[in-house]
Chains A and B, each alone.
Chain A
Amino acid sequence: MKTRFLFPHKYRLIGWVLTIPSFVLMLLVMHADFSLSFLQYGGNSILGFDGEKFLFGIHRHNFTDEVGSLLLIAGLLMIAFSREKEEDERTVQLRLESLLWAVYVNSAWMMFSIIFFYDTLFANIMTYNICTPLILFIARFNFVMYKERRTLKNAGL
């Protein structure tokens, strides 16, 4: 069966290579105010931004977080949506089920956060939410695939 809109299997490795460093980078950016000097555009400002809200209006900005999050999302997409080595119709079903599960869990977590967390903590959770749906999906799908393989191994004994 043809599966559409998926990356070739080898992109999963590229995905991990992109994701791990950019995830670490984004953690440093978020929690340690880390920035890479070569991604600085214009002079340094004490505030870190000059009040402009749109790309073509800014005069100085450090693009570490932009580059980091773009690489992180690209990497996670490649891990999440690469074809399996043995891709068939059941893989498609398990993948879609996992995606549904991930969206439900992420939404439930968001609703919980909206009720219980405020201010910077909530802003941080929203920032993490850039990648949590994909991370939840990857975790769930790989767990399901692992269980499938283990069932087969046990049945073979």
Chain B
Amino acid sequence: MKNTIRVGRAILNITQAELAEKVNVSRQTINAIESNKYIPSTVLALKIARVFQKQVGEIFMLEEGD
């Protein structure tokens, strides 16, 4: 699964730490999601989408092999 969190953060001009705080997880978790090391739960994906005011599908998308 790919994601566009880094782009979304750049648009809102917030750091990983700030995003982490908004969705109530650790910075490590946001970092791991951005570097495709961790796939967030549906709840966390929805929360991140809410911060960016976008649909989940615009931020997280399936890759070949998923």
Q: Do A and B bind each other?
A: yes
Closest to B33 in A: A90
For window 40-54 of chain B, which residues contact chain A by CB distance below 8 Å?
Answer: 40-41, 43-44
Contacts of B27 in A (CB 8 A): 152
Interface size class of B (residues with CB under 8 A): 10 to 19
Hey, what's the 0/1 contact readout for B23-47 against A, CB within 8 Å counting as 1? 0111111011000001011011000
Interface size class of A (residues with CB under 8 A): 10 to 19
- A to B contact number (C-beta, < 8 Å): 32
**A155 interface residue (CB < 8 Å to B):** yes
Knowing A88-B24, A90-B26 are in contact, say whether A1-B41 is a contact too (CB < 8 A).
Answer: yes
Question: Complex formed: what's the CA distance from A149 to B25 in Å?
Answer: 14
For window 28-84 of chain A, which residues contact chain B by CB distance below 8 Å?
Answer: none
